[in-house]
Amino acid sequence: MRILRVAALAAGGLLLMGQVVPAQAHGGSSYRWELTPTGTTAQFRGLAAVSKDVAWVGGSAGTVLRTVDGGKHWRNVSPPGAEALQFRDVEAFDARRAVALTIGTGEDSRVYRTADGGKTWTETFRNTDANAFYDCIAFNDDKHGLALSDPVDGKFRIVATSDGGKSWKVQPTAGMPAALAGEFAFAASGTCLVAGHGRTAWFASGGGDRPRVFRTVDGGRRWTVTDSPMASGAAAGIFSLAFRNTLFGVAVGGDFEKPTEAVKAASVTSDGGRTWKLVPADKAPKGYRSGSHFVPWSPTTVVAVGPSGSDVSFDGGRSWKQFYDGSFDSVECAGHGADAGCWASGAKGAVGRLVH
**What 3-state class would DSSP assign to 48?**
strand
What pLDDT is stored for residue 29 in this prediction?
A: 62
Question: Span 135-163, mean pLDDT?
Answer: 98
Give residue-wise pLDDT tens across range 275-311.
999 999 999 999 999 999 999 999 999 999 999 999 9
What pLDDT is stored for residue 222 in this prediction?
A: 98
* Contact of 185 with 192, CB cutoff 8 Å: yes
263 falls in which pLDDT band (50, 70, 90)? confident
Say if residue 173's pLDDT is above 60: yes
30 falls in which pLDDT band (50, 70, 90)? confident
E strands, 154-235, where? 155-161, 169-170, 193-195, 201-204, 212-216, 224-227
Q: How many whole angstroms separate alpha carbon 150 and alpha carbon 125?
A: 16
- Measured CA distances, 308 to 10, 183, 323 (Å): 25, 25, 11
Question: Span 195-199, mean pLDDT?
Answer: 97
Q: How many whole angstroms separate alpha carbon 151 and alpha carbon 350?
A: 31
What pLDDT is stored for residue 3 in this prediction?
A: 45
Question: Span 48-73, mean pLDDT?
Answer: 98
What pLDDT is stored for residue 5 in this prediction?
A: 28
Question: Span 69-81, mean pLDDT?
Answer: 97
Give residue-wise pLDDT tens across range 81-125.
999 999 999 999 999 999 999 999 999 999 999 999 999 999 999
* Contact of 295 with 342, CB cutoff 8 Å: yes
Domain ranges of the chain: 32-355
Share of the chain above pLDDT 90, in %: 90
Say if residue 25's pLDDT is above 80: no
262 falls in which pLDDT band (50, 70, 90)? confident
Q: What is the pTM of this model?
A: 0.92
Share of the chain above pLDDT 70, in %: 92
Q: How many whole angstroms separate alpha carbon 239 and alpha carbon 236?
A: 8
* Contact of 295 with 314, CB cutoff 8 Å: no
As a residue count, the chain comes to: 356
List 168's β-bridge partners, or say none: none
Q: In this predicted model, which residue has the larger pLDDT, 7 or 99? A: 99
Say if residue 78's pLDDT is above 50: yes
Question: Span 153-172, mean pLDDT?
Answer: 98
Task: Name the average pLDDT for the chain.
Answer: 92
CB under 8 Å, gap of 24 or more: what pairs does 124-128 form? Answer: 124/99, 124/161, 124/165, 124/166, 124/167, 124/168, 125/159, 125/167, 125/168
* Contact of 278 with 229, CB cutoff 8 Å: yes
What pLDDT is stored for residue 93 in this prediction?
A: 98
Give residue-wise pLDDT tens across range 244-254.
999 999 999 99
Q: Please check whether the domain covering 32-355 is classified as CATH 3.40.50.720.
A: no
Question: What is the DSSP annotation of 3-39?
Answer: ----------SEEE---EE---EETTEE-EEEE---S
What pLDDT is stored for residue 19 in this prediction?
A: 41
148 falls in which pLDDT band (50, 70, 90)? very high
Say if residue 10's pLDDT is above 50: no
Q: In this predicted model, which residue has the larger pLDDT, 11 or 107? A: 107
